[in-house]
Structure 1
Amino acid sequence: MTQNGNLKRRVRARAAKTGESYTAALQHIRQPPDEPAIRSIRMAVAQTSLFNDPRDISAFHASGTEMRRLMRDAHKAGARLLHFPEGTTCWPHKRIMSEIGPREIGPSDWTRFEWGALREELEVTRRLANELKLWTVFGSVHQLTSPHRPHNSLYVVSDRGELVTRYDERLLSNTKISFMYSPGRIPVTFEVDGFRFGCAIGMEAHYPEIFIEYEKLNVDCVLFSTAGDSPSNAPAFAAEVLGHAASNIYWVSYSTLAPQSTAVPSGIAAPDGQWAAQCPKNGMPAIAVADIKIDPENLARPWRRRVRTDLYTPHQVNGDPRSDGKNLF
């Protein structure tokens, strides 16, 4: 009992000092002395070709073939997880989908979407993930029962070829929410080899609250997939990704379609706000690989959590400097 009580006191003391949860502090203290404190996992990020006509069955097959080629490249590079962009399988063009288009944008006619071809490609991709033992995260439209619009989603397929979860875009553009998709409602996390990942998609890089929410959920990396609209939009997304990584002290993977890469290619941002790896800037499908590392001794993230609480309240001095002329300078 005494030994158990001492352990609990050590865990509580560490949790109070670092801001970690009780479970995280316990895991750190129980870590064997010869086990390295820094954990790592190798992941890959992809940029893929643009396929935007969901009526074209041959395009679905081409996108699936390209995905699986990049999956084999990631496997050869030793990656445990491969992250693809929004609309990897198909990014339906709003004018092609518009029932009053293409000159005008209106409600999408989802009967134009070749759902059978999509399901066929997803099944082949799922089997390859199992064969390669590669976690695979990719963007796809997710069909709902009529009359509901589909979701714009990220599918998470495990290294056993199982669809373990799905993230649906929550903060949609005006066109998406007005004419195309149903919004999602919840954040989604999953774990690979002890690393926790969060998911974001579309234009959600514009919203810091999405990334702050994932920090509170204790993720090690956020997978942000986008398709962009034109290469001119890519620098803003990339700047925001680097900022989210630095301000939240976690990794962010930025995956976009290959045409965007002429401005900013897909890449993996480190917690210091720098690119750890980037794909070629040539408009071609490719992958980039980085070893994501987590150092539990780094106290920057726990400290920022404490700062966001009432840490400073006991140290604040009463009074409003605007009403105290003697203390303005």
Structure 2
Amino acid sequence: MTPTIPFRLATAQLPVSGDAHVNGRNVQAAMREAAAGGARLIHFPEGVLSGYVKHPIQDWAEVDWEIVREELEAVMALAADLKLWVVLGSAHPLTPPRWPHNSLYVISDQGHVVTRYDKRICSHTEVTRFYTPGHAPTVFEVDSFRFGCAICIEVNFPALFMEYDRLGVDVVLLSAYPVDSIFLVKARSHAAIHNVWLSLSSVTETDHLFRSALIDPRGEVVAEVPGVQSLVIHTLDPGAPELDIALTKARPWRASVEGDPRYDTAGLNDPRSTDRTGV
């Protein structure tokens, strides 16, 4: 069911370094700015806390996991103080010698990690040298809005977005460290096809490709970060007149097609239909 009350969402674009202390300070500053702007949830890029592989991390031995944990706990405490939900990109260590997951921590406004999304489709480089893939979708709810999570190269796998559509997601939070500008077009297409909002949070290092943005259920970019290192806050309003067709007509109609007997014409006994050479 489509939510009825507007929701304030912040989408961040931040740099990613190999120093979790620096990354943590940037994350906390963005959280304070988002809370001051009335945001209910802030969404961050891929790997923004721990650092991302190859750029700049070349080997997991470079990462001090105790510092990453300290910074994560500081973010959790601040989320509770600000009463702000946080979706934060970071590597999540597993039991050695397994490689980490490439994850999004979902932190509640009470300061708890309520769930985590682990990237399911890792790139060839990731799965060969750096990460252990996850295996399941992640869905959570805030103020009647239903959120799903995806990470970077997963934009190339429509089945993941179809799955979130079946799970009734209203907003997809897509964190990324992209390598091409067509990425934005793909993200807009998923939003338009499934009539969902999509928050695309990327890193400052890829600002030359496109800027992090909020995409509405028509596939339109309706809010874009104003600077290389910044955030944008946008109100998701399910009652907005311009979204009426997408949310109240297109989305429910598309969901109904598979079970609608009018579209099941496999047994149609009409020679004018079965003869595909006739005119």
TM-score of the pair, normalised by structure 1? 0.77
Change (3 A) 1:320 1:141: farther
The offset of 1:285, in angstroms, is 1.4
Counterpart position of 2:182: 236
Amino acid across the alignment from 2:66: G
Q: 1:46-125, aligned counterparts within 5 Å? A: 46-51=12-17, 53=18, 59-94=19-54, 109-125=59-75
How many residue pairs get aligned? The number is 272
Q: Paired residue for 2:169?
A: 219
Match of 1:247 in 2: 193
CA distance in 2, matches of 1:69, 1:40: 25
Taking a change above 3 Å as real, the CA distance of residues 151 and 286 of structure 1, as seen in their structure-2 partners, is: same
Distance of 1:274 and 1:210 partners within structure 2: 21
Q: Deviations over 1:206-265 (max 9, x none)?
A: 111111100000011000000124xxx1x2111011101110011111000012222210
Asked whether the equivalents of residues 60 and 89 of structure 1 are also in contact (C-alpha less than 8 Å), the reply is: yes
Provide the secondary structure at the position in 1 that maps to 2:49. coil
In structure 2, the partner of 1:39 is: 5
Shift of 1:324: 2.4
| Long gaps (5+) in structure 2 | none
Q: Is 2:155 the partner of 1:205?
A: yes
Give the match's secondary structure for 1:138.
Answer: strand
Give how far 1:138 is off: 0.9
- How does 1:1-329 map onto structure 2 within 5 Å? 24=1, 38-51=4-17, 53=18, 59-94=19-54, 109-229=59-179, 233=180, 235-280=181-226, 282=227, 284-295=228-239, 298-311=248-261, 312-314=263-265, 317-318=268-269, 324=275, 327=278, 329=279
Q: Deviations over 1:131-165 (max 9, x none)?
A: 00000001000000012111000000000000000
Q: Which amino acid aligns with 1:301?
A: R
CA contact (8 A) 1:220 1:294 kept: no
Residues 42 and 86 in structure 2, CA contact (< 8 A), matched pair in contact too: yes
Structure 1 residue 177, shift from structure 2 partner: 0.7
Partner Cα separation in structure 2 for residue 264 and residue 90 of structure 1? 23
* AA matched with 2:14: T
Matches of 2:270 and 2:206, distance apart in 1: 52
| Change over 3 Å in CA distance of 1:310–1:209 after alignment to 2 | same
Residue 268 of structure 1 contacts residue 275 of structure 1 at CA under 8 Å; is this kept in 2? yes
TM-score, normalising length: structure 2 = 0.90
What amino acid maps onto 2:64 in structure 1?
E
Deviation, structure 1 residue 49: 0.7
Quick one: distance in 1 between partners of 2:216 and 2:7?
13
AA of the residue aligned to 1:293: D
Hey, what's the Cα distance between the residues in 2 that align with 1:81 and 1:186?
A: 22
Q: Any conservation in 2 of the 1:61–1:121 contact (CA below 8 Å)? A: yes
Q: Deviations over 1:291-320 (max 9, x none)?
A: 112259712211001123354015973468
CA contact (8 A) 1:91 1:227 kept: no
Q: 1:226 to 1:321 in 2, by over 3 A?
A: farther
Unaligned runs of 5+ in 1: 1-23, 29-36, 54-58, 99-108
Superposition CA RMSD, Å = 2.3
